[in-house]
């Protein structure tokens, strides 16, 4: 059975309203032991759009599913053509103030860990360590036949060589690095196989319709159990992938705090939702704690 992505979630009318008061977030960070759970909203200030916010990509774009990717060579051609073009923009994205603030909190020993639903590598590029990439990373490629991993930049080089002159104009770039191209624009794109065994290559990300590895989920659950509080940054929590950790924390009596401009599916489990831009909110919180946030970060190779 093919699974389609969860496209929307309608908030209930009785959800508590958002606030601009950062006090509870500052207090939680000051006490330490904070587990960060981040979503696409933290990367929008780096030029990467989100899925479900205002103008989110799901209003115009249905992401590739695992079932479609594995079943159809045509679907893989479409995916890799669009992803290859998108990577040129996506791969140049740099950490923003929100990523840098999270890294600063970590350097000052305030965090119990960072779980991200994003596949962009920007937390690590900002200097955060031990980041759990819940949905994987676009910076890696895996062969579905032999299981060998390789850097995305290596695949990008091979695709450039196989598709000289491929310079279509995209209508937009999506959070999964996928560029909006028509079927006509991708019709002649050449997909390259695994260099080791000739098998099918897939980005090392969890597609819609694909399960997060159980060991990774359990690791995240362990982090939630050990955390003093859970701070959700820029996630609508529409899908269970992230919402389950919010529910776990709330059921255990661990305070859940959310920074997101729009209502989220986890609001009813949170002690507060701060409706401010993430860069502003997190740098302000850092300032109140006397923690400097670097103006610039030299991004690591991704």
What pLDDT, in 10s, does the model give residues 189-220?
Answer: 999 999 999 999 999 999 988 999 999 999 99
Q: Which residues are annotated as a binding site for Zn(2+)?
A: 143, 146, 194, 197
- How far apart CA 26 and CA 36 sit, in angstroms, is 13
Q: Which residues are annotated as a binding site?
A: 39-59, 117-120, 143, 146, 194, 197, 234-236, 278
Does 135 qualify as catalytic in the annotation? yes
The reported pLDDT for the residue numbered 96 is 96
Give the domain range for residue 70.
Answer: 57-92+139-205
The reported pLDDT for the residue numbered 230 is 98
CATH number for position 280: 3.40.50.1220
**Exactly one of 99, 123, 135, 269 is catalytic; which is it?**
135
The reported pLDDT for the residue numbered 31 is 98
How many domains in the chain?
2
The reported pLDDT for the residue numbered 10 is 65
- How far apart CA 179 and CA 83 sit, in angstroms, is 6
Q: Which residues are annotated as a binding site for NAD(+)?
A: 39-59, 117-120, 234-236, 278
Q: What is the pLDDT of residues 228-287, one digit of tens each?
A: 999 999 999 998 999 999 999 999 999 999 999 999 999 999 999 999 999 999 999 999
Q: Tell me, yes or no, if the pTM score tops 0.75.
A: yes
Question: By three-state DSSP, how is residue 36 classified?
Answer: strand
- How far apart CA 257 and CA 246 sit, in angstroms, is 9
Q: Which of 156, 172, 205 is the last residue in one of the domains?
A: 205
Q: Are residues 108 and 176 in the same domain?
A: no
Residue 17 banded pLDDT, cuts 50, 70, 90: confident
Q: Which of 178, 205, 232 is the last residue in one of the domains?
A: 205
Residue 295 banded pLDDT, cuts 50, 70, 90: confident
Q: 5 near 11, Cβ under 8 Å?
A: no
Q: Are residues 113 and 39 in the same domain?
A: yes
Q: Are residues 34 and 119 in the same domain?
A: yes
The reported pLDDT for the residue numbered 220 is 98
Q: Are residues 75 and 222 in the same domain?
A: no
Q: What is the dihedral of CA 293, 127, 21, 255, to 10 degrees?
A: -150
Beta strands in the chain (DSSP E): 34-38, 111-116, 132-133, 136-143, 149-151, 201-205, 229-233, 256-259, 272-274
The reported pLDDT for the residue numbered 60 is 47
Q: Are residues 99 and 197 in the same domain?
A: no
Q: Is residue 9 part of a domain?
A: no
Q: Are residues 166 and 243 in the same domain?
A: no
> How many residues would you count in the chain?
302
The reported pLDDT for the residue numbered 69 is 95
The reported pLDDT for the residue numbered 91 is 76
More confident residue, 163 or 47: 163
The reported pLDDT for the residue numbered 171 is 63
Average pLDDT, the chain: 89
């Amino acid at each position: 059975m093919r699974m389609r992505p969860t496209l929307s979630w309608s908030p209930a009318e009785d959800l508590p309203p958002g606030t601009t008061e950062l006090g509870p977030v500052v207090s939680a960070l000051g006490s330490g032991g904070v587990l960060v759970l981040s979503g696409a909203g933290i990367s929008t200030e780096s030029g990467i759009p989100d899925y479900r916010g205002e103008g989110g990509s799901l209003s115009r774009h249905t992401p590739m599913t695992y079932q479609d990717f594995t079943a159809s060579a045509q679907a893989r051609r479409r995916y890799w053509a669009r992803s290859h073009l998108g990577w040129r923009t996506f791969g140049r994205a740099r950490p923003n103030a929100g990523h840098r603030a999270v890294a600063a909190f970590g350097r000052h020993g305030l965090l119990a860990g960072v779980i991200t639903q994003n596949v962009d590598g920007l937390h690590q590029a900002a200097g955060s360590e031990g980041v759990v990439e819940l949905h994987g990373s676009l910076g890696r490629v895996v062969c579905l036949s032999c299981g060998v991993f390789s850097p995305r930049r290596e695949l990008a080089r091979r695709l450039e060589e196989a598709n000289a002159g491929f310079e279509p104009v995209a209508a937009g770039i999506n959070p999964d690095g996928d560029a909006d191209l028509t079927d006509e624009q991708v019709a002649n794109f050449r997909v390259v196989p695994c260099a080791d065994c000739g098998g099918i290559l897939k980005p090392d990300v969890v597609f819609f319709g694909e399960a997060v590895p159980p060991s990774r989920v359990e690791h995240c659950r362990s982090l939630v159990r050990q955390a003093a509080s859970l701070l959700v940054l820029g996630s609508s929590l529409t899908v269970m992938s992230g919402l389950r950790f919010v529910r776990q924390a709330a059921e255990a009596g661990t305070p859940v705090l959310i920074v997101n401009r729009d209502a989220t599916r986890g609001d009813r489990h949170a002690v507060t939702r701060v409706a401010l831009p993430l860069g502003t909110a997190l740098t302000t919180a850092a300032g109140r704690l006397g923690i400097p946030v670097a103006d610039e970060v030299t991004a690591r190779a991704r």
